[in-house]
Amino acid sequence: MKKIIFTVITSLLIFTSCSDDFVENPPTGTLDTEYVFSTEENVEKAVLGLYDLMQYNYAKDWHSAYFVKLLPGDDANAAGGNAGDQAQLQDIDDYANVSISNTSITSNWDLFYRVIALANVIVDNVEGSSLSNKAKVLAEAKFMRAWCYFELTTMWGDVPLRLHNPDVVSPEAFALAKSPRTEIYTQVESDLTEAITGLPDKSAVSENFRVCKGTAQALMGKVLVFQEKYSQAIPYLAAVIANPAHDLEPDPANVWTIGSEFGIESLFELGYISTEGYDWGSFKWGGRVESNAHIILMGTRDFFDVAPVGLLNGWGFNLPTKKLIDAFDAMGDTERKAATLMTEAELIAGGGAVKEPAENIWDYEGAIRIKYTTRASDTSPEGTVRELNYTTNWRLLRYAEVLLLAAEAYNKDGQDGQALIELNKVHERAGLAPLSGLTGDALFNAIVNEKFLELAHEGQRFWDLVRWGRAATELAGTGYASKNDLFPIPVTEIELNDALTNADQNPGY
């Protein structure tokens, strides 16, 4: 009897301990979609996720979109430790062997679509809601979506246009064919139209890092100029120019320094901060970090003694070309040049040194870069791990570019007088005497040259050359071929997206 009782008790115990929900473990640290879209405050946090992803994409370890966009230009060389250092970046710089599996190009592609997908979820969930901040949230999300599609079509041409995320996991749901660039532009314009309506004026944004009406107008202008819709572009660009909330930073020396971050010239800027205080143990390579780790990649290598000029060493990428140095000199541009680069002679005059023969330094053509460099003042204080805590912000869109886009639009639209006015604003800010008497192609050439210098090392040059049809001449002898006008679509996209085949690969890859 005892044993029966024992057995029965044991059986009962285990059955009672195993209620139905025993095999349910609620997830930890998660919020359901309903919660996220239930209040104005929560939706704002979802929108903040867009900024966080943008911040990630433009400074991710060795794959920053900032650098990838910049590399094919004739303003900068990849440089680095040697000719083989980060081969995927050298390949883009040298136009040769740009592989369909290039990891940096793939990273950019994937992360632009990550931003788009997050924007899609926000748009899909907010559109039917009655939240009081609905218009602003939609505007901000659609701006980000427009920005990324514009970047995608600039760098890859025709791309899949995904506006709603798949709701099931299957190859069929993931498959999406490419849309022609014209359709991408149409969607970008549509999103920007809504963004312009919904976004507040710069003077009224809640946090200085947020995009404003002017940002959307400027991007709309740029998108239209890229489509050669000059007359349509002018009103948008003019609206930004006319708005007193936007203007040039008066001193060219301050345009790219931390003192002017999110300042008057800034239209769209990605922020980086040092408050996390990373050290080599806590830094997260390839993760979403808050500091701009890409700066150490682009600091001068230890071939250079740069401490006397207030800089720290880095890993040596992103050096100016001789062509850029010469262009500054040809224009007699000293102030803007000083804010952009420093020649070897200037470095030595400042107490620095070049410790290796120049020919041993890969991709070095006589100057180091000053714009977005490893300034000791831009990172955490001495005694901390300063290499990992740069706070340098990327200015992705600024007033000077709007002026130059406007100048281009006016020039192409036959309004050379107005074009020269806008051009001279930039030219004079550089400390140069105003240009005069230029019209037509001569004026256009002046705009091109001005933009080369003003936006050097900012990732605009190559894409401008391509749309102007000037790449073949300007890049002659560099290894450039017309196939380089577009990046290859990542092989993973072609393999995994069932609507794409090798025939959809960009020409020449």
Partner 1 sequence: MRNYFFRKFLFLGALLLSGFMQAQMISGTVSDVNGPLPGANVLVRGTTNGTTTDFDGKFTLSEVPSDAVLHISYVGYVTQEVSVAGKSVINVVLAQSADELDEVVVIGYGTKKKSLVTGSISSIDESQIESSSTQRIEQVLQGKTAGVTVVSSSGAPGSGAKVRIRGTGSNGNADPLYIVDGMKVSTIDNIAPSDIANMEVLKDAASAAIYGTQGANGVVIITTKRGKKGQSVISYNSQFGIQSVRTDMNLMNASQFVQYMNEAGQNQVVDNGINTDWIDETFQDAFVQRHDLSFSGATEKTSYYLSGSLLDQEGIVGKENSGYKRYTLRANIVSELKDWLEIGANITYANTNQSPITEDDSYRGVVNNVLLIDPLTPVIYDGALPDRAAEGVANGTAMVTKNGRVYGYPTYSTGEVINPVGYANYVFRGEGIDTDSFLTSVYAKIKLMEGLSFTTRFGYERANMIDNRWTPIYVVGAEASNTSVSLAHDIDRNSRWLWENFATYTKEFNDHSLTAMVGYSAEKIKNPYYSLKGGSVERSIDEFAYFDYTARANDVIGGAIYEKNMTSIFGRLSYDYMGKYMVEGSLRYDESSVFPKSDKGDLFPAVSVGWVLSKEDFWKQDAKIDYLKLRASWGQNGSDANLEGNGDLEFWQTVASDGGYVVPVIYEGVGGYNVGDLANPKLVWEKSEQFDIGFDLRAFNGKFNFSADYYNKETKDLLITDGNLIVPGSVGRTLGPINAGTIENKGFEFEAGYKDTTEGGFTYGINFNLSTLDNETTDVSVNAALNGATIPGGEPVTRFEEGHPVWYFYGYKTNGIDSQTGAPIIVDTDGNGTITNNDKTEIGSPHPDLLYGASINLGYKNFDFSLNLQGTEGNDIFAAYHQPSRPLTNKPVEYFNGRWTQPGDANAKYPGASQINGYYDTDLMIDDGSYMRIKQIQLGYTLPTSIVEKINLKKLRVYISLDDYFTFTKYNGLDPEAGSYEDNSQGVDRGFYPIPGKALFGLSVDF
Is 245 a binder of partner 1 (CB under 8 A)? no
| Binding region for partner 1 (CB under 8 A) out of 54-62, 239-247, 342-350, 394-402 | 54-62
| Binding region for partner 1 (CB under 8 A) out of 365-373, 377-385, 394-402, 420-428 | 377-385
Is 314 a binder of partner 1 (CB under 8 A)? yes
The encoded tokens of residue 191 equal: 């999103």
Our CB check for partner 1 shows the closer of 1 and 242 to be: 1
The number of residues in the chain equals 509
Q: Give the integer Cα–Cα distance in Å for 319 and 365.
A: 8
Q: Which of 197, 282, 439, 482 binds partner 1 (CB under 8 A)?
A: 282
Q: Give the integer Cα–Cα distance in Å for 223 and 233.
A: 8
* Residues between 179 and 238 with contacts to partner 1, criterion CB under 8 A: 207, 209
136-to-55, 165, 216, 309 alpha-carbon distances in Å: 21, 21, 12, 45
* Residues between 75 and 104 with contacts to partner 1, criterion CB under 8 A: 81-88, 99-101, 103
* Residues between 420 and 479 with contacts to partner 1, criterion CB under 8 A: none
Is 258 a binder of partner 1 (CB under 8 A)? no
Alpha helices (H) along 157-259: 171-174, 181-198, 213-226, 230-242
**Minimum distance of partner 1 from residue 86's CB (angstroms):** 6
**Minimum distance of partner 1 from residue 387's CB (angstroms):** 7
Q: Which of 128, 244, 383, 477 binds partner 1 (CB under 8 A)?
A: 383
Q: Give the integer Cα–Cα distance in Å for 258 and 392.
A: 6
Provide the mask over 109-128, with x wherever binding to partner 1 is found by CB under 8 A and - wherever it is not: xx--xxxxxx-xx-------
- DSSP code string of 68-104: HHHTTSTTEEEESSSTTTTHHHHHHHH-TT--TT-HH
Q: Which of 185, 278, 372, 390 binds partner 1 (CB under 8 A)?
A: 278
How many residues touch partner 1 under the rule CB under 8 A: the total is: 109
**Minimum distance of partner 1 from residue 271's CB (angstroms):** 5
Beta pairing partners, 304: 354
* Residues between 151 and 190 with contacts to partner 1, criterion CB under 8 A: 159-160, 162, 165-166, 168-169, 171, 174, 176
381-to-293, 371, 374, 377, 410 alpha-carbon distances in Å: 16, 21, 13, 8, 47
**Minimum distance of partner 1 from residue 436's CB (angstroms):** 43
* Residues between 392 and 411 with contacts to partner 1, criterion CB under 8 A: none
- DSSP code string of 314-377: ---EEEEPHHHHHHHHHHT--HHHHHHEEEHHHHHHTT-EE-S-GGGSTT--SEEE-TT--BGG
CB atoms within 10 A of CB 421: 16
Is 352 a binder of partner 1 (CB under 8 A)? no
Is 503 a binder of partner 1 (CB under 8 A)? no
